[in-house]
Amino acid sequence: MPSFDVVSKVNLHEITNAIDQANREVTTRFDFKDTNAKFELTAEKITLTAPAKFQLQQMIAILENKFAKRGLDLSCLKREEIEESLHEARQALTIQQGIQHELAKKIVKSIKDANLKVQTTIQGEQLRVTGKKKDDLQQVITLLRAQKWDLPLQYENFRD
């Protein structure tokens, strides 16, 4: 039976390149001169550090621009609260990968509400959709693309 997987993955190598380019731009821009503004990438977080909250907002605009140029979806980033101290402001952006269980349930429910002749199973952080016809599976893909989700979804492992 034909099947495919619904996943949410992010290319971490492209994120690393976007962070490097954003750091380069921050060090060369005049309005960030002699500030200790920087982007730091850890395993699943991007930390922005700047002297003021206003500069953090400018840094986010720079990062969004670099993400767009590299073809990365901005919905994979979850913004956390800005932490301000006397001489520094920090903000963490969490990189979201994988489909969380609650969102997976919502996706399954929307597929079932469409009354398509497919079966959907949750397998960890991905969904497997199987059906008798390829046309039914293609209808599921168009249905999911038409709706707005919190994460970027990819459709892979299409099998006959």
Contact residues for 82 (Cβ-Cβ < 8 A; gap 6+)? 53, 56, 89, 90, 91
> Is 14's pLDDT higher than 90?
yes
> Is 45's pLDDT higher than 90?
yes
Domains of the chain and any CATH numbers? 3-8+98-159 (3.30.70.860), 12-95 (3.30.70.990)
What is the 3-state composition of the chain as percent helix, strand, coil, each rounded to the nearest 5?
Answer: 40, 30, 30
Backbone phi, then psi, for 97, in 5-degree steps? -130, 145
Nearest to 70 by CA among 29, 133, 21, 36: 21
- Number of residues in the chain: 160
Output the pLDDT for position 86: 87
> Is 67's pLDDT higher than 90?
yes
In tens, the pLDDT along 82-131 reads: 999 888 999 999 999 889 899 999 999 999 998 889 999 999 899 999 98
